[in-house]
């Protein structure tokens, strides 16, 4: 509807277009939709029953909702299409309730149900062959059978599997490659398992032209695996871990530099020379970068060749990097989120370099024990800062009063800074009543309430 045609003086809320009401209702909880919205008028009941609304509504029961309460509520919302339960729950009761009450589930996310077994999975796949998104957690002995069952989902677009125990994943990826023709996003995560390079090659040969997101751990990033990743036509988001790689193999990554938007690489220190080669040419579209286990890798090429970077997470793992390695970080003109973790040699001058990033809004400095109160004096120059996290610092709090000049700051978290005087945080809260302050004890002093000891 054109804005010129919709005059507020004559407007009736019952005359709002369907799409607008659906957008407004999407901000309400399912309980509010069920108990209130559908009873207001016939038109709102029509909107409540519209598939357009249920395509945007997700059932997210809170931590206090028991299995019996869930089962009772699911009976009242048979139009439900999307479920996301993040807390542990009894699989027998929950799966049975969903299957009996909701015939049209398209999204089923239960990442923390530990007792989900193959019988449950077969029941779900039989009932919902049209599933589009699936997130589960599985145990060691069930991996192969789980994968075989899931491979029959022809409309599945997104699959996330978290493996609980260390396990061999050899051969397990192939059924997904041969099945799931609509798959665009795949996550296989867990502790201690890796996909073999042969299986990774097989999977990419089948899926490289449709895959948008990939998050896996691969035993070896061979030239063939990297060639296939590089030739992927639609891949935008890649998170990958590896135990080995040939020195010059990362050169095959260069085919991704023009279109990859998000990149996360977990690797062993021995791979760092090979990784450095990746950033010697521009990555024009990259907006997110996460690198783990840095030691002495040159960051200059990242700062110079990633002009679109907005989020940067670096895990130093007690690396040998010093302040000078961050001297050019200001070249990342769009950088708004930065996390530095485990850089034991970084001192206050690094905070000075960070302060030159004019767009910084979110900053987390964790386990940088050589940084001190002087860092705060630099960081208050980040005028757009909204959230600041300081963890394992040599901090007494003597300069925290200067944070008052950060007018947009809404959250300050100070954890494991043993020398800080709690009274300083009390005083700061009194002067900045809008600010939420957190400590390692999970004490939360939330605006607009004043802190009381």
CATH code for the domain of 431: 3.80.10.10
Q: How far is 398 from 447, CA to CA, in rounded Å?
A: 23
- The DSSP-derived string for 252-270 is GGGGGTTT--EEEEE--GG
Q: Does the pLDDT of residue 414 top 50, yes or no?
A: yes
The phi and psi torsions of 300 (rounded to 5 degrees) equal -55, -40
Please tell me the predicted confidence (pLDDT) of residue 87. Answer: 85
Question: What is the helix (H) or strand (E) element at residue 143, kind and residue range?
Answer: helix 143-150
Please tell me the predicted confidence (pLDDT) of residue 268. Answer: 58
**DSSP β-bridge partners for residue 338:** 312, 363
The answer as to whether 437 is a domain residue is yes
Please tell me the predicted confidence (pLDDT) of residue 248. Answer: 62
The answer as to whether 4 is a domain residue is yes
The two tokens of residue 34 are 């069920």
Q: How far is 264 from 317, CA to CA, in rounded Å?
A: 16
| CATH number of residue 23's parent domain | 1.20.1280
The two tokens of residue 154 are 């022809």
Q: Residue 63 — pLDDT band, cuts 50, 70, 90?
A: confident
The answer as to whether 129 is a domain residue is no
End-of-domain residue from the set 13, 34, 57: 57
The answer as to whether 427 is a domain residue is yes
Q: How far is 165 from 142, CA to CA, in rounded Å?
A: 11
Task: Determine the average pLDDT of the residues in 184-205.
Answer: 87
Number of domains forming the structure of the chain: 2
Task: State pTM to two decimals.
Answer: 0.86
Q: What is the pLDDT of residues 326-348, one digit of tens each?
A: 999 999 999 999 999 999 999 99
Highest mean pLDDT among 195-199, 224-228, 338-342, 448-452: 338-342
The answer as to whether 76 is a domain residue is no
The answer as to whether 446 is a domain residue is yes
Task: Determine the average pLDDT of the residues in 275-304.
Answer: 87
The two tokens of residue 135 are 């997130």
Q: How far is 327 from 322, CA to CA, in rounded Å?
A: 10
- Structural domain including 51 reads 1-57
Please tell me the predicted confidence (pLDDT) of residue 441. Answer: 58
Please tell me the predicted confidence (pLDDT) of residue 83. Answer: 95
Q: How far is 207 from 200, CA to CA, in rounded Å?
A: 10
- The DSSP-derived string for 87-116 is S---HHHHHHHHHHH-TT--EEE-TT-TT-
The two tokens of residue 8 are 């507020």
End-of-domain residue from the set 57, 78, 103: 57
The answer as to whether 205 is a domain residue is no
**DSSP β-bridge partners for residue 314:** 291, 340
User: Which of 126-130, 315-319, 429-433, 443-447 comes out lowest in average pLDDT?
Assistant: 443-447
Q: How far is 422 from 414, CA to CA, in rounded Å?
A: 10
Percent of the chain scoring above 90 in pLDDT: 50
Work out the burial of residue 448: count CB atoms within 10 Å of its CB; fewer than 13 is exposed, 13-18 middle, 19 or more buried.
exposed
The overall average pLDDT reported for the chain is: 86
Please tell me the predicted confidence (pLDDT) of residue 325. Answer: 94
Percent of the chain scoring above 70 in pLDDT: 88
Q: Residue 89 — pLDDT band, cuts 50, 70, 90?
A: confident
Q: What is the pLDDT of residues 126-168, one digit of tens each?
A: 999 999 999 998 876 677 888 899 999 999 999 998 887 655 6
End-of-domain residue from the set 57, 74, 94: 57
Q: Is 57 helix (H, G, I), strand (E, B) or coil?
A: coil
Q: Residue 74 — pLDDT band, cuts 50, 70, 90?
A: very high
Q: How far is 242 from 105, CA to CA, in rounded Å?
A: 36
The answer as to whether 137 is a domain residue is no
* Other C-beta atoms lying within 10 Å of the C-beta of residue 394: 17
Q: Does the pLDDT of residue 221 top 70, yes or no?
A: yes
Task: Determine the average pLDDT of the residues in 416-423.
Answer: 86
Please tell me the predicted confidence (pLDDT) of residue 243. Answer: 66
Q: How far is 351 from 321, CA to CA, in rounded Å?
A: 14
What is the β-pairing status of strands 288-291 and 311-315? parallel
Q: How far is 338 from 360, CA to CA, in rounded Å?
A: 8
Q: Residue 350 — pLDDT band, cuts 50, 70, 90?
A: very high
Task: Determine the average pLDDT of the residues in 446-450.
Answer: 37
Q: How far is 172 from 218, CA to CA, in rounded Å?
A: 13
């Amino acid at each position: 509807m054109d804005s010129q045609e919709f005059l507020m003086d004559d407007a009736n809320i019952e005359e709002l277009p369907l799409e607008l009401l659906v957008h407004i209702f999407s901000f309400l909880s399912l309980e509010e939709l069920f108990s209130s919205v559908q009873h207001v008028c016939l038109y709102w009941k029509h909107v409540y029953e519209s598939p357009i609304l249920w395509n945007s509504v997700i059932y997210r029961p809170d931590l206090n909702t028991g299995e019996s309460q869930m089962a009772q509520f699911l009976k009242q919302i048979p139009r439900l299409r999307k479920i996301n339960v993040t807390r542990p729950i009894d699989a027998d009761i929950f799966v049975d309730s969903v299957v009996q009450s909701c015939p049209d589930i398209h999204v089923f996310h239960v990442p923390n149900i530990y007792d989900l077994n193959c019988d449950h999975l077969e029941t779900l796949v039989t009932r919902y062959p049209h599933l589009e998104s699936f997130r589960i957690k599985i145990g060691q002995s069930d991996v192969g059978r789980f994968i075989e069952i899931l491979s029959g989902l022809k409309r599945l677009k997104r699959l996330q599997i978290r493996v609980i125990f260390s396990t061999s994943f050899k051969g397990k990826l192939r059924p997904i490659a041969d099945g799931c023709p609509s798959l665009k996003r795949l996550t296989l995560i867990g502790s201690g398992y890796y996909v073999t390079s042969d299986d990774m090659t097989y999977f990419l040969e089948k899926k490289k032209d449709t895959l948008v997101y990939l998050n896996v751990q691969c035993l070896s990033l061979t030239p063939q695996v990297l060639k296939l990743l590089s030739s992927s036509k639609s891949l935008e988001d890649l998170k990958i871990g590896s135990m080995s790689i040939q020195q010059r193999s990362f050169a095959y990554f260069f085919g991704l530099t023009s279109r990859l938007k998000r990149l996360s690489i977990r690797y062993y220190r021995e791979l760092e020379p090979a990784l450095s080669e990746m950033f010697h040419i521009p990555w024009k579209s990259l907006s997110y970068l996460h690198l783990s286990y840095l030691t002495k890798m040159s960051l200059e090429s990242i700062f110079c060749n990633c002009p679109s970077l907005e989020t940067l997470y670096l895990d130093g793992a007690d690396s040998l990097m010093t302040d000078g390695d961050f001297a050019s970080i200001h070249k990342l003109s769009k950088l708004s989120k930065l996390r530095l973790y485990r850089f034991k040699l970084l001192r206050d001058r690094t905070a000075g370099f960070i302060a030159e990033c004019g767009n910084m809004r979110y900053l987390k400095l964790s386990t940088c024990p050589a940084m001190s109160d002087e860092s705060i004096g630099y960081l208050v120059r980040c005028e757009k800062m909204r959230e600041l996290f300081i963890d394992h610092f040599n901090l007494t709090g003597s300069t925290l009063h200067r944070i008052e000049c950060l007018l947009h700051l809404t959250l300050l978290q100070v954890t494991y800074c043993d020398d800080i005087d709690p009274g300083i945080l009390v005083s700061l809260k009194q002067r900045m009543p809008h600010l939420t302050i957190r400590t390692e004890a999970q004490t939360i002093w939330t605006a607009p309430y004043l802190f009381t000891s």
